[in-house]
Amino acid sequence: MKEKIVSLCAALAVSFAALALPVEWQFPRDGNCHEGMAFSDGITGVLVWGGGDTLKITVGRGDLWDHRGGYPWTSEQSYTNIVSAVNSGDAKRLYSLFKKVTPAGEPRNPFLVSLGRVVVKMPGAKLQSGQLDPKTGLAEITVLSKGKEKKLELAMAKSPRAFAVKFPEGLEVSVDSIPALETPIVKAALGKLGYSSVERIVPLKKIEGGFYMPLPADTAVMLRWEMRRETLLVGTSRGEKRLEFPDDCTFAAVRSASLAQWKAFWDEGASVNVPDPVLQRIFDYGMYRFGAMTDPDGVPAGLQGPWLEDDKLVPWNGDYHFNINVQECYSPAYRGGHFKHLIPLFKMVLSWKARLADNARKFAGVDGYVLPHSVDDRGTCIGGFWTGTIDHASTAWVASMMFRYVKYSGDKKFLKDHAYEFMAGAMRVYRAMMEEKGGKLSIPLGPSPEWGASDVKKAVGRDPSFQLAAAHRLAEDLIAASEILGVKADPMWLDVVKRLPPYTADESGIMLFKGQRFVDSHRHHSHMAGFYPFDTIDMADKKNQRVIESTYGTWVARGTGQWTGWCVPWASILYTHAARPRAAVYMLKAWYEFYCDEGYGSHHNAVFHGFTEWTGGRDVMQMDGMCAAVTAVMELLVHDVNGKTHYFRGCPESWKEVSFKNIRLADGRKVSGSRVNGVPTVSVSSAP
């Protein structure tokens, strides 16, 4: 049935249930910290878990980097040298280009440092259950003490920057802290890298504790807790020997600040009402955690955001991974209407321009920008994986994120002052990589992310479909950006759109690159990026129908056996954009069932067997899967394919009532809508 579209000024009543159900926990939750209730002020992350009479509060910081190590780009790592070594099969020469000798006592790469834990003992009590309201950021935990149920109240806010727990009267409480550096795994690893013992806080008049930890080459960190009557306050700081909570930092103050903060967040952003409680929880709790870890007054979010383990090293160094992971972490900002949450990320990337320009000169011999796929918060390459280092789609994808922000937010000043030049610089590198071949443009060599690992023969090839799609997206965005700014588009961009193939394909569908069909289950759906996220393949064009059907058919046939958590929501969106709603919903439910633990922690590997061979992953939490799932829920309701907006196309017919509010269109306008018994009604705002 054709959708009915009206403007808000028509005062159309849109059915919508604005209240979210609290997310519930059952205790004990003591498998690991990621089973816990999550809080953050955008800098400090808190996970609350435990069992019996013990409440564990794991504390981390998203900016706690040890900046030593890393792989600087060298003049030997030119695209010409890399292509020559690959074409000649000279693996020794290729690996020597990326070889690095790490001095003893220093890390090979920069890494995020685990901080510590606050432990609360409540003798005679037992943790029972808990719940957190994503709309307010407030939580409570029920304990059984002397045969009676009592409530602990929990809250966190960015002003004041404190996590607070209010205990009921009459409950006996003792508090202590455990530095990560004193746990066996962390101590063994960091002790070799110049870390010494922490300095414990000596209690003054008030009941307090915590520690001060120097870093070998970076600013020291402090974790401090303080008991004020029935309230426990926990906070962190950098560079201070003494962290003081303001005199007016009471539980009531933190609670009030949390209410105001989250009301503003939800008022400005999207909400959904779907008939499936699993998908509803995915959206509500996932959007809450996205908002917490990407707060505009915080630090940019890496793979884990600020929620770092306190008893082991942070997986993957806690890096910024730009070949899918950062993009997924920030994806809810667009449809969700939280544009300012993108700004810290963009500011960070733009602060690296000198380094990225140096990379481009050494790699491609042009003035431009090259962003390796894995870096720390200073843009230092976290190396060891050469195909990722040369994956220029990472740069193009970030440039695409910037332009998408401009389209959604209408921020032309950001386009003029920052994004346009960054986009153009990325495009100059792509063009320098291309060559003329049979009247067409061609990319002689490039990777399809994570395919073939580091195998010289299998990991790279001519005209990778992922790189072609990224280059087309970048060129088309630059042309559109020029129109917005009222300037003439570079003829080179027009030539790329005209003469660069949109993908590489044969009868099996889209290939990874020339000579490499999609022959195995693989976690990175990069060869299908022309469908999503880059949207560069016209899915309505009859000329593309055979390759589209073949691509999806081959992909389905290869199965999910090598999938990891972050790729499952991506698969859901690929199904949505192909108008396959049952498969789209199934993928989201599969992600929840297999990749989330009992405390809703979002994991890289499957927590349970049966869906993939990548299992046993309770210790590797990543926020990309959770945030991508939030985006995938919104895509079920509203999405664009080749410039056309579709409503409810990802919603199965069995959903008799579904609605949404304030989802953003690609031009920034807000849209709200409902579908009742198959009849859709949509209301679009008249202006962004």
pLDDT of residue 686: 72
The encoded tokens of residue 383 equal: 């190396």
User: What burial letters (b/e) apply to 83-115, b meaning 16+ CB within 10 Å?
Assistant: bebbeeeeeebbeebbeeeeeeeebbbbbbbbb
Q: Per-residue pLDDT averaged across 230-251, rounded? A: 94
Nearest partner of 273 among 284, 265, 289, judged by Cα:
284
pLDDT of residue 623: 97
User: What burial letters (b/e) apply to 268-294, b meaning 16+ CB within 10 Å?
Assistant: ebbbbbbebeebbbbbbbbbbbbbbbb
pLDDT digits 0-9 by tens, 457-491: 788 999 999 999 999 999 999 999 999 999 999 99
**pLDDT over 90 (residue 617):** no
Strands of the sheet with 44-51, listed across from one edge = 37-40, 44-51, 54-61, 116-121, 174-179
pLDDT of residue 178: 97
How far, in Å, CA of 599 to CA of 613, rounded?
22
- In three-state secondary structure terms, 368 is coil
Dihedral sign for Cα 73, 76, 79, 84, please: negative
**pLDDT over 90 (residue 574):** yes
Residue type, 157: A
pLDDT digits 0-9 by tens, 178-217: 999 999 999 999 999 999 889 999 877 679 999 999 999 9
How far, in Å, CA of 592 to CA of 629, rounded?
9
pLDDT of residue 62: 98
The encoded tokens of residue 238 equal: 């950098």
**pLDDT over 50 (residue 3):** no
Cα-flanking dihedrals φ and ψ of residue 446, to 5°? Answer: -170, 165
The encoded tokens of residue 130 equal: 């808990």
Angle at 82 between CA 497 and CA 319, to 5 degrees: 80
Which residues, other chains included, contact 389 with Cβ-Cβ below 8 Å and sequence gap of 6+? 71, 77, 98, 372, 373, 374, 381, 383
**pLDDT over 90 (residue 385):** no
How far, in Å, CA of 489 to CA of 493, rounded?
7
pLDDT of residue 687: 67
Give 576's pLDDT tier (boundaries 50, 70, 90): very high
pLDDT of residue 206: 73
Give 10's pLDDT tier (boundaries 50, 70, 90): very low
**pLDDT over 70 (residue 575):** yes
**pLDDT over 50 (residue 9):** no
pLDDT of residue 20: 63
- Of 200-209, 493-502, 663-672, the least confident: 200-209
Which residues, other chains included, contact 464 with Cβ-Cβ below 8 Å and sequence gap of 6+? 443, 446, 447, 448, 504, 512, 513, 526, 527
Dihedral sign for Cα 120, 122, 128, 132, please: negative
How far, in Å, CA of 256 to CA of 250, rounded?
10
Round the average pLDDT of the chain to a whole number and report it: 94
pLDDT of residue 266: 98
Q: Per-residue pLDDT averaged across 283-299, rounded? A: 98
Going along the chain from its start, the domains and CATH numbers come out as 31-66+109-268 (2.70.98.50), 331-559 (1.50.10.10)
pLDDT of residue 223: 97
Q: Per-residue pLDDT averaged across 296-310, rounded? A: 97
- In three-state secondary structure terms, 339 is helix
- In three-state secondary structure terms, 336 is coil
pLDDT digits 0-9 by tens, 122-176: 999 999 999 999 999 999 999 999 999 999 999 999 999 999 999 999 999 999 9
Dihedral sign for Cα 419, 66, 218, 380, please: negative
User: What burial letters (b/e) apply to 19-32, b meaning 16+ CB within 10 Å?
Assistant: ebebbebebebbbb
pLDDT of residue 14: 39
**pLDDT over 50 (residue 428):** yes
- Of 117-121, 541-545, 552-556, the least confident: 541-545
The encoded tokens of residue 284 equal: 């509500």
Counting residues of the chain whose pLDDT is more than 90, the rounded percentage is: 91
Q: DSSP letter for 181, please.
A: G
Q: Per-residue pLDDT averaged across 231-260, rounded? A: 95
Counting residues of the chain whose pLDDT is more than 70, the rounded percentage is: 96
Burial class of residue 421 in the structure, from the number of CB atoms within 10 Å of its CB (0-12 exposed, 13-18 middle, 19+ buried): middle
pLDDT of residue 19: 52
| Cβ–Cβ < 8 Å for 523, 562 | yes
Cα-flanking dihedrals φ and ψ of residue 629, to 5°? Answer: -65, -40
Count other Cβ atoms within 10 Å, centred on residue 498. 10
**pLDDT over 50 (residue 4):** no
DSSP per-residue string spanning 87-112: HTT-HHHHHHHT--PPPTTS-SS-EE
pLDDT of residue 688: 65
pLDDT of residue 12: 36
Q: Per-residue pLDDT averaged across 287-311, rounded? A: 97
